[in-house]
A and B are shown apart, each in its own frame.
Chain A
Amino acid sequence: MALLQMQRINIYALNKDRKHILELLQRRGVVEVRSMLKEDSIFHRTDVSESMQSFEKNIAIASEALSVLDNYVKEKKSMLSALNGRKELPLEVFDSFIEKYDSVVDRAKRMIYLSKSIAENKAEILKLQTQIEILTPWIQLDVPLNFKGTKYTSSFIGALPRNWTLEEIYERLADYMPLDIDIVSSTKEQTCIFVLCAKDNKDKVFETLRGMDFILPSITTTNSPAEQLSLLYKQIEDYKANIDSAIEEIKSYDKVRKELLFLQDFDTMRAEKYEVIGQLLQSKNVFIITGFIPEKDSEAIKDELTLGFDLAVEVTEPRKKDDVPILYKNNGFSEPLEGIVNSYSPPGKGEVDPTTVMSFFYYALFGLMLSDAGYGLLIAAACAFILVKFKNTIERPLMNTLKMYMFCGIATMFWGIIFSSYFGDIFDVVATTFFGVTDIPIIPPVWFYPVEKPMLMLTFSMAIGIVHLLTGLAMNGYQKAKQKDYMGIIYDVLFWYVLLISSVVLLLSMKMITDILGVNVNISDTVKDIAGILFVASAVGIILTNGRESKNPFKRILKGLYALYGISGYLSDVLSYSRLLALGLATGIIGTVVNQMAAMTAGGTLGPLFFTIIVILGHALNLAINALGAYVHTNRLQYVEFFGKFYEGGGKIFKPFRVNTKYYKIKENTK
């Protein structure tokens, strides 16, 4: 349960060392650069937006080129390759990449150009294919489509709608003999005809043809259709050849895939470096880095910098008004839950890190909601397997997620054993269905079956809720102690503790409540009386003090009364933990239903096969849905009920200037 102590660091160095100093800081990744000084007549900030833009442009080009490449060459990736994390490369590779840089960018541009040309060629082919479609019915015609006739004749080439016979056409045009009519092709939709008539009749023939809905072809050619078609086919072949050669060329760039990935990382690093440069104050010869550094790292960095360069490093405690960034320090058990805290909000100013305390409850509550030893074992074993198999290469965020689920799985196993749930009641079902065992349950619960005693389970859930809430309240006290608000501890924590505990005692002393809860407690009258007195005393205390920020006594009492009304909030908070019962039962009951359905099919020779299939599918579904439910509702109990008692958040996560790459990382020379 801790946050690392942060310090302010100022580094004053010479511009000639700038590149090396920044690169060193970037590799060490322990300083968050923040511009905390103002510009003046000597020191200025440099405008780096132009260089940043060019890096970002090249990153975009490389990533586009990669997606082009992915279209044509499938990268062989195994399912688990994401677990391997980034590849380590020696520093020299990073340093020497600048020599290859331009050629890689050129090749990326070339790939994008090729991909565009492929698209253009494809569009051309489509256009030609439309022409081919139009021309195909005319293939029998041995004159060009734009043939208009000879010296004494006129010709009409075109199409009539629907299917016409030669006689029908002659009939219509009978008045204008001599004529020569050819049907070039005919289908149901259209009849393509060639009409040759005397030049004198030209207009009348055309008039009549128009009356028959004659239309001219939508393209004209100077060659005969057959010739034109073969020309078109040849053109298509050419375009196809272009496409093929472009694809081949793109494929040949598969060997630069690594360089393209590397280029993205390289420019991401440079962009980050330039972003930092933009925040530095620089004069002609000197520059100043200001920022924050965790206390534990400051000495090492100071030594390393002063040894390597001519500079001055100044490390001071942060000032009161500084917005100091947050860096967690937790052990392997709690660290996985930092992400959960972050997605609520990192600890704000003066707040403590709730991760450690939360982690015990988080795992326990998740386990209670899923509460099945079989599911727990599956989850824990799967996570543990990946964690062990990829322990050297796995990246930290993924590792933490897996660890979180591993601990959740272990807790699930624990509660599953307590309440005897093993894939629902799989042992009993298998034993009775296949082996005729009648002596069930095979594994009796360590405590009890929640389905049989839901009220007891409800009481237990709410008891856990009370513990959780009181812990939250205690955290509030701890936080106030750290802020040296000792009166606040008495007013806001101690009074409430007394009030809540005495009201629990009073409730338990009522017969009605114990009957409902099905618990058996004997509370003597003395204890009851003491609890009653404490209840009244603490209530009065709360009324008098909880409105203390108001000076006006009337307003103050009203505010105090309203604060006391907050006890209804505690009631609803405690009831909210009934979801532990509901979700726990959901897992168990659906598991049982799955097993029963499977048992119904278990007869006959194929029975065991059906049984297995139903069991596997059913439990996979149940596990998925209920693990989701457990995750969401554990978060809710932490965020709303637990955090509500003491935690607001609003801090800023420590974002050190470092190597934020996606594909490769620098292998540090271990000295």
Chain B
Amino acid sequence: MENMNDYGIVLAVFGAALAALIPGIASAKAVSRGGVAGAGVITEDPSLFGKVLILQLLPGTQGIYGLIIAFITFSQIGVLGGSSDISFVKGLLYFAACLPMIIVGYTSAIRQSNATIASMGVLTKRPDQFGKAMIFPAMVETYAILAVLVSILVVSGVGGLNI
């Protein structure tokens, strides 16, 4: 079993890397979809650029949340300095802790971009209704926030476990 424990860190790094990777991919895709729709809006009315840009950036946060989880995990498992001696089980736990961010981060970014694009449609017809249009994508973001929350709490909790 001692050999197995060498792989603890591998699993943990895997989880952290995926947390940066998967939501990052999703955010890139979501922001680009927003950009495509936004470019269309700008051709109609260039003065909407600022508002469209805000909407476009909204689904970009999942990538950032992923980065946060990756970073917290890295610093917990000692990749960024300190001791990197963690057991296999702990490594697996770190991996599991990253899962909410990896999965919800991915799906929520893509779904959020749907809401973003619809809100851009609102802007073209009713530029004064920006406040309301902005709320729809922000509602989707709630679930990414809940996921990042669970991941943060578990990642910082696993370190204290005695396994």
B135 CB contact (under 8 Å) in A578, A583, A639: A639
Cβ of B61: which chain A residues have Cβ within 8 Å of it? 586, 625, 629
Q: Which of A185-193, A301-309, A588-596 contacts B (4 or more CB under 8 A)?
A: A588-596
Q: Pick the contact of A635 from B67, B80, B128, B138 — CB < 8 Å?
A: B138
Known A-B contacts A454-B153, A632-B134, A636-B135; A579 and B54 likewise in contact (beta carbons under 8 Å): no
Give Cα A623–Cα B18 distance, bound, in whole angstroms: 25
Which residues of the other chain, A, contact B58 by a CB distance below 8 angstroms?
A: 632
Nearest CB of A to B130, in Å: 6
Tell me how many residues of B have a C-beta within 8 Å of chain A: 30
Contact at A586–B149, with CB atoms within 8 Å? no
Interface assignment of A246: CB less than 8 Å from any CB of chain B: no
Question: Chain B's nearest CB lies how many Å from the CB of A360?
Answer: 20
Our pick among B57, B80, B146, B148 for the contact of A625 (Cβ within 8 Å) is B57
- With an 8 A cutoff between CB atoms, is B71 at the interface? yes
Find out whether the CB atom of A635 lies under 8 angstroms from the CB atom of B135. yes
Nearest Cβ on chain B to A18's Cβ, whole angstroms: 32
* A625 CA / B59 CA spacing, docked (Å): 11
CA distance A633 to B129 in the complex (A): 17
Known A593-B71, A640-B135; judge A625-B142 contact (CB<8 A): no
A625-B57, A635-B131 known; A589-B149 Cβ under 8 A: no
B156 interface residue per 8 A CB criterion:
yes
Using CB atoms, name the residue of chain B closest to A576: B142
A373 contacts across to B, CB distance below 8 A: none
Instruction: Type the 1/0 row for A585-616, where 1 means its CB is closer than 8 Å to any CB of B.
Output: 11001101100100000000000000000000
A575 within 8 A of B: yes
Known: A628-B54, A632-B54, A640-B139. A585 touches B134 (CB 8 A): no
A114 on interface, CB distance cutoff 8 Å: no
**Are A585 and B152 closer than 8 Å at their CB atoms?**
yes
A640, chain B: closest CB distance, angstroms: 7
Report B-chain residues with C-beta under 8 Å of the C-beta of A592: 71
Which residues from A are CB-within-8-Å of B152?
A: 454, 581-582, 585
For residue A344, CB closer than 8 A to chain B, the reply is: yes
Whose C-beta in chain B lies nearest to the C-beta of A636? Answer: B138
A636 to B58 Cα, complex, angstroms? 13
Chain B residues within an 8 Å CB radius of A585 = 68, 152
Instruction: Kindly state the separation between the CA atoms of A231 and B104 in the bound complex, as whole angstroms.
Output: 73
Distance, CA A451 to CA B54, complexed state (A): 28
A340 at the B interface (CB under 8 A): yes
Q: Decide if A96 is an interface residue (CB 8 Å cutoff).
A: no
- Interface residue? A458 (CB, 8 A): yes
Q: Which of A625-652 contact B (CB under 8 A)?
A: 625, 628-629, 631-633, 635-636, 639-640
Chain A count of residues within 8 A CB distance of the other chain: 32
Other-chain residue from A576, A589, A593, A635 in contact with B134 (beta carbon distance below 8 A): A635
**In the complex, what's the smallest C-beta–C-beta distance from B14 to chain A, in angstroms?**
20
List chain B residues, Cβ under 8 A from A589: 68, 71-72
Cα of A632 to Cα of B67 in the assembled complex, Å: 20
Assembly CA distance A590 to B63 (angstroms): 12
Q: Does A522 reach chain B (CB closer than 8 Å)?
A: no
Whether A343 sits at the interface, judged by CB under 8 Å, is: yes
The complex places the Cα of A340 from the Cα of B80 at a distance, in Å, of 43
> Chain A contact residues: over half helix, strand or loop, or mixed?
helix
Output the least CB separation between A399 and chain B (Å): 18
Task: Determine whether B65 belongs to the interface, using a CB cutoff of 8 Å to chain A.
Answer: yes
B65 touches A586 (CB 8 A): yes
Q: Which residues from B are CB-within-8-Å of A315?
A: none
Distance between Cα atoms of A583 and B80 in the complex (Å): 23
Contacting pair B153 A639 (CB below 8 A): no
Bound-complex Cα distance A590 to B58 (A) = 17
Q: How far is the CB of B73 from chain A (nearest CB, A)?
A: 11
CB-CB under 8 A from B139, the residues of chain A are 636, 640
Whole-angstrom distance between the Cβ of A378 and the nearest chain B Cβ: 19
User: Are A579 and B145 in contact, with the CB atoms below 8 A?
Assistant: yes
Q: Are A578 and B145 in contact (CB under 8 A)?
A: yes
A582: B residues at CB distance < 8 A? 65, 145, 148-149, 152
Q: For residue B109, give the distance in angstroms from its CB to the closest CB of chain A.
A: 14
**A506 proximity list for chain B (CB < 8 A):** none
Residue in B closest to A455 when the chains form the complex, CB atoms? B153
Which residue of chain A has its CB nearest to the CB of B57?
A628
Determine the chain B residues whose CB is within 8 A of the CB of A451 once the complex forms: 72
User: Cβ of B80: which chain A residues have Cβ within 8 Å of it?
Assistant: 596
Q: Whose C-beta in chain A lies nearest to the C-beta of B55?
A: A632
B71, B131, B149: which contacts A344 (Cβ < 8 A)? B131
> What are the interface flags for B124-163 relative to A under an 8 Å C-beta threshold, 1 for contact and 0 otherwise?
0000111110110011011001101100110010000000
- Assembly CA distance A583 to B138 (angstroms): 13
Closest chain B CB from A253 CB (angstroms): 25
- A-contact 0/1 string along B92-134, CB 8 Å cutoff: 0000000000000000000000000000000000001111101
Instruction: Tell me the bound Cα distance from A575 to B132 in angstroms.
Output: 22
Q: Please indicate the chain B residues that have their CB under 8 angstroms from the CB of A628 in the complex.
A: 54, 57
Q: Is the CB of A343 within 8 A of B131?
A: yes
| Chain A residue at minimal CB-CB distance from B148 | A582
Smallest distance from the beta carbon of A291 to chain B beta carbons, Å? 23
* Residue B60 CB within 8 A of the other chain: yes
A590-B138 in contact (CB<8A): no
Q: A520–B130 Cα gap in the complex (Å)?
A: 44
Instruction: Kindly report which residue of chain B lies nearest to residue A596, judged by CB atoms.
Output: B80
Residue interface bits B41-77, CB-to-A below 8 A is 1, else 0: 0000000000000100110110011011001100000
Q: Tell me whether A633 and B153 are in contact (CB under 8 A).
A: no
Q: With A343-B132, A625-B60 as given contacts, are A454 and B68 in contact (CB-CB < 8 Å)?
A: no
Residue of B nearest to A625 (CB): B64
Taken together as a complex, chains A and B put the C-alpha atoms of A57 and B128 apart, in Å, by 25
Docked-complex contact A340 and B156, CB < 8 angstroms: no
CB pair A578–B149 under 8 Å, yes or no, is yes
Q: Is A458 within 8 A of B149, CB to CB?
A: yes
Taking the nearest CB of chain B, how far is it from the CB of A538, in angstroms?
Answer: 28
Most chain A CB atoms below 10 A, which of B130, B152, B156: B152
Q: Are B131's CB and A633's CB within 8 A?
A: no
B53 to chain A, nearest CB (A): 9
Q: Which residues of B contact A342 (CB under 8 A)?
A: 131
Encode B31-43 as 1/0 by CB contact (under 8 A) with A.
0000000000000
Write 9 A-B pairs (CB below 8 A) sorted by A numbering.
Answer: A578-B145, A579-B145, A582-B148, A582-B149, A586-B65, A590-B67, A628-B57, A632-B54, A639-B131
> Which A residues are closer than 8 A to B by beta carbons?
340, 342-344, 451, 454-455, 458, 575-576, 578-579, 581-583, 585-586, 589-590, 592-593, 596, 625, 628-629, 631-633, 635-636, 639-640
If A454-B153, A589-B72, A596-B80 are given as contacts, then 14 extra A-B residue pairs at C-beta distance below 8 Å, sorted by A number, are A343-B130, A576-B142, A581-B149, A582-B65, A582-B148, A582-B152, A583-B145, A586-B61, A586-B64, A590-B67, A625-B61, A629-B61, A632-B58, A632-B134
